[in-house]
Amino acid sequence: KRLNIALCGLGRYASILADGFQDAEYCKLAGIITGTPSKAEAWKKQYDIPDKNIYNYQNFDNIKNNKDIDLVYIVLPNSMHKEYTIRAAKAGKHIICEKPMALNAADCEEMIEACKNAGVQLAIGYRLHYEPYNLEMKRLGQEKVFGQVRLIEASLGYRTFDPNEWRLKKAMSGGGPLMNVGIYCLQSSRYVSGEEPLSVTAQFGPVTDKQLFAEVEASIMWQLNFPSGLVSNCTSTYNCNVDRFFASADDGQFELSPGISYGPFKGRTSNGELHFPDINQQAAQMDGISKLLLENKPLPSHITGEEGLKDMKVIDAIYKAAATGEKIMIV
Ligand code: NAD
């Protein structure tokens, strides 16, 4: 049996997920939710989706009565994650919600509560927790293979050009590159160290284009302090292409570059090159979640709403640190 998944929001990442289903064993693309009738028609034909599993944003709540949908995968702009997670939970569906989980920590808490009350499970689209190179970085750090990690450096960014992109509208995105890609630098710092950060300092980069960056930061740098004394120094930017993830420990170093995007990845340690298969990350992620849900098992905490909330608390603190110039304690 396969878990029946409905994709909610048919934009660029939904198309990548749709490809992911081709390689999946434990789930299938069973339904769609879209506000655009022409997309509904095109997806219906391409993926053989029955009319009864096609919804728009107005009639979405009727999905409650549809036994042929088990899970709703929310791939909408960030500002819509909370509303659609809560509506899907009320409809009794499990949920995968894309990163970043919501616009702030308070919204994440509401989403977690709604899922708990409805008795459904909530996962966040943290695909790198299923990706072999990143799993190796996590193992090397957490198992102290090269001793205690002292320094992590993570940078992720790309150049953005379209002033109409929702990612540049604060009300829809919640912020700039930190919300969109910086969250991966934060995630990697947390899963390599296996620790939760205590405090943060942060700095906004200059406004490099007044039209593009009227509402959100063009770039942001931040420094996290962890209980062991480990420091993580991160950058996320919309000004240049960068994808680099480095850790230095007492007896060696390990790094991926690229290592946060969709792959193929390259990695090395003080002992030489890393070699792992380049997998379909979306298939691995959806399968990992679907297999557990089919077995009625709880999802591992590092991919749930609680994990999304932890990240969002740190992101809230990073923005506060950058805005005030103060060192902010993370609670
Ligand atoms: P996108 O702009 O390509 O797609 C967004 C979809 O939402 C579109 O189909 C659009 O029609 C729909 N939509 C509905 N109401 C809208 C509104 N009011 N304004 C704008 N769009 C509206 O964006 P995307 O790149 O697919 O990103 C969607 C989500 O997926 C984001 O939260 C993003 O962070 C996340 N994402 C995750 C990954 C990953 O690797 N995990 C990669 C890309 C995007």
Q: Assess whether 99 carries a catalytic annotation.
A: yes
Q: Assess whether 184 carries a catalytic annotation.
A: yes
Phi/psi region, residue 258 (left: phi>0; alpha: psi -120 to 50; beta: rest), is beta
pLDDT confidence of 81, banded at 50, 70, 90? very high
DSSP per residue, 166-189? GGG-HHHHSSSHIIIIIHHHHHHH
Give the Å distance between the CA of 245 and the centre of ligand 1.
25
Q: What tens digit of pLDDT does each residue of 247-289 get? A: 999 999 999 999 998 889 999 999 999 999 999 999 999 999 9
Do the beta carbons of residue 88 and residue 72 sit within 8 Å?
A: yes
Sign (positive/negative) of CA torsion 258, 259, 260, 262? Answer: positive
55, 73, 133, 184: the catalytic one is: 184
Q: 252: part of which helix (H) or strand (E)? A: strand 252-256
Measured at the CA of 53, the angle between CA 50 and CA 57, to 5 degrees, comes to 135
pLDDT at 9 over 90: yes
Residue nearest to atom 41 of ligand 1 (CA): 125
26, 82, 84, 99: the catalytic one is: 99
Give the pocket of ligand 1 (CB within 6 Å): 9-14, 35, 75-78, 98-99, 125, 127, 166, 180
Do the beta carbons of residue 65 and residue 93 sit within 8 Å?
A: no
Q: What tens digit of pLDDT does each residue of 300-320 get? A: 999 999 999 999 999 999 999
Q: Which atom of ligand 1 is nearest to the CA of 76?
A: 7
Q: Which atom of ligand 1 is nearest to the CA of 165?
A: 2
Q: What tens digit of pLDDT does each residue of 194-230 get? A: 999 999 999 999 999 999 999 999 999 999 999 999 9
Task: In whole angstroms, give the CA distance from residue 295 to residue 130.
Answer: 19
Task: In whole angstroms, give the CA distance from residue 84 to residue 95.
Answer: 9
Tell me the backbone φ, ψ of residue 240, rounded to 5 degrees: -160, 165
Give the Å distance between the CA of 75 and the centre of ligand 1.
5
Q: Which atom of ligand 1 is nearest to the CA of 78?
A: 32
Q: Is 100 helix (H, G, I), strand (E, B) or coil?
A: coil
pLDDT at 331 over 90: no
- Domains of the chain and CATH, by start: 3-127+283-299 (3.40.50.720), 132-277+311-329 (3.30.360.10)
Q: What tens digit of pLDDT does each residue of 117-130 get? A: 999 999 999 999 99
Other CB atoms within 10 Å distance of the CB of residue 206: 10
